[in-house]
Each structure stands twice: as structure tokens, then as C-alpha cells.
Amino acid sequence: MPLFFQVLASGSRGNAILVCSPRTRILVDAGLSAKELVRRMDRTPVCARQLDALLVSHEHRDHVNGAGVLSRRFHLPVYLTPGTFDHLPSQVGLPAQTELFEPGAPFSIGDLRICSFTIPHDAHEPVGFVIEHESTRLGVCTDLGVATQLVKTRLRGCHGLIVEANHDLERLLNGPYPWHLKQRIRSRHGHLSNADTCELLESLHHSEMQCVVFAHLSETNNHPDLVIESATRLFRSPEWDGVQIKVGKQDDITCGTELS
Ligand SMILES: [Zn+2]
Ligand SMILES: [Zn+2]
């Protein structure tokens, strides 16, 4: 099992991704209740008490909801940026152990190498990640308003990618959200549309890419069928043959992926 990952939840009601090497097991974000995270992990190859650490992308509730309880219950260090730590919602409480990192400064958790990078989003110090085990790379990038040059550069060469496909633009514009919220979602610090994500993926394609997971779909402004429809147009090109496509779910775990 060189590098394994499994999306436990994805969307505005909670996000969490299990990432494992043969020696190290972490959760990227813990945005469900601790109880629900434990329950979902019971259906994966790793149970919660086997975790080594939590890695947090930013302080929004859908990414940190269960982080405090999980950390205290299983004595887990929580890795996060100073800006994220300073703005954790009070209900999360203090982690059992806090490990601060600066965006862009690489560090290791066991035999996983973590490279973070700044993403444009309406949080205090939000980051995306590339998680490496030996020469295998998994990119995780949800909650960003625009795919900046930095994002594109950092995600280059990943074998697996978990990227946001938040909304279908037409659905968002014609949907029930108030105008200011639509503007926020579309802004530089909001969320990527299906078209934005496909454009990003097009720029990231390389011959060793193995799997793409579309994540953080809006339940109001998107639908898995719309994501697949956008992706199918892109993936029609033969260079994408053999790349697995998955869509992260809100209410259920997604089947796991082994990258080699
Ligand atoms: Zn989010
Ligand atoms: Zn967010």
C-alpha cells in the first residue's frame, strides 16, 4: 500500500479525507462530528484509534467540526497554520497537541512529506496540500476561489488529485441563493465552478496521473451528474484514458484509492 486515500465526507456540511502510507495514517480535515468520523472510519481499512495526526486546511466549520474532540480523545497532534489556529471556532476547543506550520514550509508526519501552499479563500490562512510518500504525490485542494499560478505549480506532477468542483455556474446564477452569497461564491475568495476545475485539470494532466476526485460539491448549486458531464467532455481526449474519476459524497464515504 504505497499511498492510500479515501474521502470520508465532502461538501459544505463536512469534509474529511483519510490518507495512509504503510506506516502513517492521517486525516486531512475533520469537518464532521468526532462520533460520525469514528463511525465512517470503521468502514475503512483504518480505525480512528490508529490515526497518527490531523492536518487542517482552514478554520471553517465544515473542515474542523470534530477536530478538537478527535484530537483530545485519541491524543492526536493537529497540524495547522497560525492563522487557522488563531481563528478556530470556540466550540472546537483546544487540540491535545498543536503543531503550527507556515504555508509553503514543508514538514513530515511519520513517512509522509507534507507540502502546503496558500489558496485564495475567505479564511485567515487557508492552504492546500501535496502529500508525498516516496515518489508518489497526492494533491488536496478544496475551497478556493481561483486556481492561481501558485496552485497550478504546486499541484503539478500529482498522481492523485482531490479538487473542488463546487458549483455549476448556471445553476448557481439561477438558483435560490441571495445575490451577495452568489457573489461571494463566485469571487476570488469563494469556490471553483465545474468549468474552473476542468480548466485546472486540463493544465495539470500528465502521463502518470492515476485518479481525480471531484470534491466539495454544493448540494444546492451542483449535482454529481453535472460534474461527470463536464468531466466527460474533458476526459474524452485519449490522453485521459486510464485515469479514474470519482465524486466525493457528503453523506457517505467514497471508495478508497491506492496510488502506486
Ligand atoms: Zn469548505
Ligand atoms: Zn471554506
Cell numbers given for 44:
475503512
Residues ≥6 apart with Cβ < 8 Å to 51:
25, 26, 27, 70, 74, 76
Q: What is the pLDDT of residues 34-55, one digit of tens each?
A: 999 999 999 999 999 999 999 9
Taking the centre of ligand 2 as the mean of its atom positions, its distance from the CA of residue 207, in whole angstroms, is 31
Taking the centre of ligand 1 as the mean of its atom positions, its distance from the CA of residue 145, in whole angstroms, is 11
Residues ≥6 apart with Cβ < 8 Å to 125:
58, 81, 82, 83, 84, 103, 118
Cα distances (Å, whole numbers) of residue 119 to 34, 48, 53, 132: 26, 28, 22, 19
Cell numbers given for 97:
497537541
Q: What is the pLDDT of residues 70-87, one digit of tens each?
A: 999 999 999 999 999 999
Q: Are 155 and 205 in contact (CB under 8 A)?
A: no
Taking the centre of ligand 1 as the mean of its atom positions, its distance from the CA of residue 239, in whole angstroms, is 31
* pLDDT confidence tier of residue 1, bands split at 50, 70 and 90: low
Taking the centre of ligand 1 as the mean of its atom positions, its distance from the CA of residue 129, in whole angstroms, is 15
Taking the centre of ligand 1 as the mean of its atom positions, its distance from the CA of residue 100, in whole angstroms, is 21
Cα distances (Å, whole numbers) of residue 214 to 34, 51, 87: 24, 25, 27
- CA neighbor of 158 nearest in space, from 177, 179, 140: 140
Taking the centre of ligand 1 as the mean of its atom positions, its distance from the CA of residue 12, in whole angstroms, is 5
Could you give all domains of the chain from N- to C-terminal order, each with its CATH number? Answer: 3-248 (3.60.15.10)
Distance CA 50, CA 54 (A): 12
The pLDDT value recorded for residue 85 is 98
The pLDDT value recorded for residue 241 is 86
* pLDDT confidence tier of residue 160, bands split at 50, 70 and 90: very high
Taking the centre of ligand 1 as the mean of its atom positions, its distance from the CA of residue 232, in whole angstroms, is 25
Q: How many CA atoms lie within 13 A of 200 on its CB side?
A: 30
Mean of all residue pLDDT scores within the chain: 96
Distance CA 169, CA 45 (A): 37
Amino acid of residue 59: E
Higher pLDDT, residue 238 or 30: 30
- Percent of the chain whose pLDDT exceeds 90: 94
Q: What is the pLDDT of residues 106-128, one digit of tens each?
A: 999 999 999 999 999 999 999 99
Q: Are 164 and 142 in contact (CB under 8 A)?
A: yes
Burial of 238 (0-12, 13-18, 19+ CB in 10 A): exposed
The pLDDT value recorded for residue 93 is 96
Taking the centre of ligand 2 as the mean of its atom positions, its distance from the CA of residue 51, in whole angstroms, is 24
The pLDDT value recorded for residue 213 is 97
Q: Is the pTM of this model over 0.75?
A: yes
Closest ligand (CA of 84)? 2
Taking the centre of ligand 1 as the mean of its atom positions, its distance from the CA of residue 26, in whole angstroms, is 19
For the chain, how many helices (H) and strands (E)? 9, 14
Distance CA 19, CA 4 (A): 6
Q: Residue 231 belongs to what H/E stretch?
A: helix 224-235
Distance CA 129, CA 116 (A): 4
Q: What is the pLDDT of residues 191-233, one digit of tens each?
A: 999 999 999 999 999 999 999 999 999 999 999 999 999 988 8
Q: Are 169 and 195 in contact (CB under 8 A)?
A: yes
Q: How many CA atoms lie within 13 A of 231 on its CB side?
A: 24
Cell numbers given for 160:
492523485
Closest ligand (CA of 31)? 1
Distance CA 149, CA 140 (A): 16
